[in-house]
Structure 1
């Protein structure tokens, strides 16, 4: 069996960077556990605090092989900054670097190719207000049309325009993207969007007439969520529990 190279960066990076590495690696393992992965493809990136550097998965590793130490550190041009045996997927980081560049609050960006997000994104009516989960996404949802594999840097500007101030993005024929000020926020936004797409497809599969949620309720959902979370975000509330779950699943991500 061919094993992936093993690295240990715990004592060679700053405590802030190591914490980001732990959270990002945990996110990869949780995404894989939930069945949202796509072999070695798709990406989750996170900004190293107080730097212009970013962490992303090594190209060629499955999500259940990602560890805090084998994440690759790059700049916005995708240049690898540390000595590492790994490369990155240039097409994948084109999308992430565009979002990180345009949004100072995008400390974490998750881009996935789940069946359900591709299906709903590709429907002409897109995501519909058919569940509570959909409300969270519809309150801050953009769309970016498919242009093929993201290797054309000219696409970056169009992607940035389409994401605008939104926190969720549906990409017809392609998948979904969420961002957040923390790994936990981006993860919970993807969780809500994924569940919304799953539920919509289940409802539509019945062929029965659905009861939509009123527009004014969709518009007020974030204010209501603020009451539930007592001023913090859903990611801040849920992430500690998700991190504990990642340790229970397989603590090797933290190596």
Structure 2
């Protein structure tokens, strides 16, 4: 006998929800943070979202014994698919080296943006910056990302903008980046790329993937020359709120089957990330 499918309610919508396949993550466990951050680098590389040895993904570590602020960053000169949990570099809020297992140092200038955000936004456990073709293209448009579909609707009213000032070498720019970002988690760096803040490495990566495909979908839709359909503001805002609740639920639970699935993919394709 045929049965009628039951509609999904707001309570059943999930982004990374469901039954966990790994134990809840300990946000104070440096070993786990290292593995997650190395995984982020490898996943960004697998998605073709890296830019040679440039751009960064940083993660906040628990404070040092004297209360010093500590962050993890990739060794300068390594491709993203060469980053491992053990070769990540520990730096302070200025980008100065605390521990450098690989011995290549870091691109201190590249940490300008990350240090600014980490120091101002203590909820940002991870800051992810990319220069993808799609992200740079959308950041170069006055309109930015449009609410054309479900993917992009999650970012409705939640994207900050920072005007281009040249390559981010000027430490004075940090205050302007922080002011422009405010309390949002996604920023389009005009004519430059994208910036994502996550309460965990997993959240930052998922937001980055969703933003990237939203940018690609917009470019694909507009390239047809046909008339795009903009979602009504109320529908887009409702969808964004649904996504936000789902992300909140996942972060509160501390378990994330979607992230676990990504790690299993890496275990199959690039297991050295955890070394």
- Give the TM-score of the pair, scaled to structure 2: 0.83
Does the aligned pair in 1 maintain the 2:90–2:100 contact within 8 Å? no
| SS at 1:207 equivalent | coil
Larger radius of gyration: 2
Q: Counterparts of 2:51 and 2:237 in 1: how far apart (Å)?
A: 33
| SS at 2:250 equivalent | coil
Q: Counterparts of 1:228 and 1:222 in 2: how far apart (Å)?
A: 10
Does the aligned pair in 2 maintain the 1:229–1:237 contact within 8 Å? no
Change (3 A) 1:74 1:218: same
Aligned ranges 1:91-106 → 2 under 5 Å: 91-106=109-124
- Residue 241 of structure 1, CA deviation: 1.2
Counterpart in 2 of 1:163? 181
| SS at 1:231 equivalent | helix
Moved over 6 A (4+): none
Does the aligned pair in 2 maintain the 1:226–1:232 contact within 8 Å? no
Matched, 1:151 2:164: no
Counterpart in 2 of 1:238? 258
Query: How many matched pairs?
Result: 241
Q: Which runs of 5+ in 2 are unaligned?
A: 1-27
Change (3 A) 1:49 1:37: same
- Residue 155 of structure 1, CA deviation: 0.1
- Residue 232 of structure 1, CA deviation: 2.1
- Residue 221 of structure 1, CA deviation: 2.2
Does the aligned pair in 1 maintain the 2:156–2:240 contact within 8 Å? no
Does the aligned pair in 2 maintain the 1:133–1:195 contact within 8 Å? yes
Counterpart in 2 of 1:7? none
Aligned ranges 1:47-126 → 2 under 5 Å: 47-51=60-64, 52-84=69-101, 85-126=103-144
Does the aligned pair in 1 maintain the 2:135–2:193 contact within 8 Å? yes
- Residue 132 of structure 1, CA deviation: 1.1
Does the aligned pair in 1 maintain the 2:131–2:192 contact within 8 Å? yes
Change (3 A) 1:203 1:151: same
| SS at 2:32 equivalent | helix
Does the aligned pair in 2 maintain the 1:185–1:236 contact within 8 Å? no
Q: Counterparts of 1:125 and 1:247 in 2: how far apart (Å)?
A: 40
Q: Deviations over 1:69-106 (max 9, x none)?
A: 11100010111001441211122100100110110110
Q: Counterparts of 1:242 and 1:249 in 2: how far apart (Å)?
A: 10
Does the aligned pair in 2 maintain the 1:36–1:114 contact within 8 Å? yes
Larger CA deviation: 219-228 vs 113-122: 219-228
- Superposed CA RMSD: 1.9
Q: Which runs of 5+ in 1 are unaligned?
A: 1-14
Between 1 and 2, higher relative CO (CA 8 Å, sep ≥ 6) is seen in: 2
Matched, 1:251 2:271: yes
- Residue 33 of structure 1, CA deviation: 0.4
